[in-house]
Structure 1
Amino acid sequence: MDRPTGKHRDDGSRSATEAALFEAFGGVRGMVETTVPGLVFVAVFTVKRDIHTAAIAALALSLVLGVARLVRKDTLKHAFGGVFGVAFGAVFAMMSGDAKNFYLPGMLYTLGLAVAYIVTAVLGCPLLGLILGPVFKENLSWRTRNPGRKKAYTKASWAWGLILLAKSAILFPLYWWGDATQLGWVKVALGIPPMLLSVYLTWIFLAKAPPPIDVFAEMEAAEAAEREAKAAGSTDKVTS
């Protein structure tokens, strides 16, 4: 049987990295599910100028998207995350009477996430490694056993942090000095592109890094070896 060449192995590793990244961040569908409710809110508010109608429309769409995933038995974490985010923003906007507050919880979350990415990268425990380690079945092995992976996760965490900081630097001035319609349309426009850029840069960094150490396979191999050793010991006792 022919063994895979280095190029084929690299292609397989890159494909696996791409698939894992899309799984972790929800893929295109997950991005759409987190962006479209905001689009509905700003569109309805632009036409109706009514916070309650816009908020209810956005929340209803989020619920429909969540139910659709439930019916299809898809991963629910991204849809439910969107539902909770939209619900929190909708309640906040309706209680305050300011349509701009529909976007404030998500903006604060983005800013906090940006700071978390940068701080953890500086401290040598990049957040992206903590997020993607289980996805790649390496857990925290990259911290001590795979310095190339740690370096890639650090670079990727810096990329995510700086991109999200740039997004926040655009949105918060609009929140303070712009109107709800301006803020809403700009936030929708900045929904998917920064995410795609961050995922692409992460893919670039990880595709060039050493492959992950599959700690689950190691544990299974160790358990199998232990069982074989016990079985061999029992056989020796019987024969003696």
Structure 2
Amino acid sequence: MTSLDKPNTQEQDDDGHGRHARAVTEAALFEAFGGIRGTVETVLPGLLFVTIYTINKDLHVSAIAALGLSLVLVAVRLVRRDTVKHAFSGVFGVAFGVVFAMMTGNAKDFYLPGMLYTLGLALAYIITTLAGVPLIGLILGPVFKENLSWRTRNPGRKKAYAKASWAWGLILLAKCAILFPLYWWADTTQLGWVLVTLKIPPFLLAVYLTWVFLAKAPPPIDVFAEMEEQERAEEARKAAAARDGEA
């Protein structure tokens, strides 16, 4: 068999490692951001609000319907014993919008808390990255069981987290640059439909870029496995010391 006929085991190993890294990264992103179902659940209350308001221009009916739908989504997750953190965050977001709109009497204010949250989140991604502690790393570190080990022990991974945080920050800022002028100049239905339209695509783009950056980064350091190994080594040392003492 010539060298050309021999299988390149190194390439096969690298390809297998790459597939594993991509799969692990994809699973972690689904867990952290709620996956497709969690994304859809964040869209539905706002979609229901703008749909009803477009039809009858009734702020109270639209707001109560949106809040009711959010509560139903949480109830369904509780019955199915699914993770509820994303659904609960949706309820709180809708509740803030409902309270704010009811207080001001302006239907557009239903969207204002969420827009301010998006702006604050964009700034948090950028500021934490400039400070050397990119927010996406703080979010995903526990999911990957690496905690903050990437800050000092895994520079390639820290660089990937920085790139991903820049992507999130700039994408969310671009979204705000579209929404805030519409808040002042457009009517409620125009703002609502644009906001619903911009709910998923920017999110999917940011998640995709995060996946690309992390799939190419060095693997995470499993600090939990390291701690377990240290505990086993310490127990073995104590057992050996006890045996030596008995001898």
Secondary structure at 1:209's aligned position in 2?
Answer: coil
Residue type at the aligned position of 2:221: I
Query: Do residues 199 (structure 1) and 183 (structure 2) align?
Result: no
Q: Within 5 A, what are the aligned runs for 1:24-173?
A: 24-173=32-181
Query: In structure 2, how many angstroms separate the alpha carbons of the residues matched to 1:6 and 1:74?
Result: 35
Q: Which among 171, 183, 186 is matched to residue 191 of structure 2?
A: 183
1:118, CA displacement in angstroms? 0.6
Q: For residue 222 of structure 1, what is the aligned residue in structure 2?
A: 230
Q: CA deviation at 1:45?
A: 0.5
Paired amino acid for 1:39: L
SS of structure 2 residue aligned to 1:219: helix
User: Over residues 31-88 of structure 1, what are the superposed CA-to-partner deviations in whole Å (9 max), with x where a residue is unaligned?
Assistant: 1111110000000001110000000000000000000111111111100000011011
Secondary structure of the corresponding residue to residue 118 of structure 2: helix
Instruction: Please report the RMSD computed on the Cα atoms of aligned residues, expressed in angstroms.
Output: 1.2
Q: Residue type matched to 1:139 in 2? A: N
Determine the C-alpha separation between the residues in 2 that align with 1:35 and 1:167.
15
Provide TM-score, normalisation by structure 2.
0.95
What residue in structure 1 maps to residue 217 of structure 2? 209
1:7-29 per-position Cα deviation (integer Å, ceiling 9, x unaligned): 11110111010010011001011
The 3-state SS of whatever aligns with 2:218 is coil
How far 1:206 sits from its partner (Å)? Answer: 0.3
Unaligned runs of 5+ in 2: 1-8
2: CA distance, partners of 1:182 / 1:102: 13
- Tell me the number of residue pairs that the alignment of Structure 1 and Structure 2 aligns: 238
Unaligned runs of 5+ in 1: none
Aligned equivalents of 1:19 and 1:168: distance in 2?
Answer: 29
- Which one-letter code corresponds to 1:84 in the other structure? F
Alpha-carbon distance in structure 2 between the residues aligned to 1:228 and 1:149? 33
Runs of 4+ residues deviating >2 angstroms: none
Amino acid at match of 2:120: G
SS at match of 2:93: helix
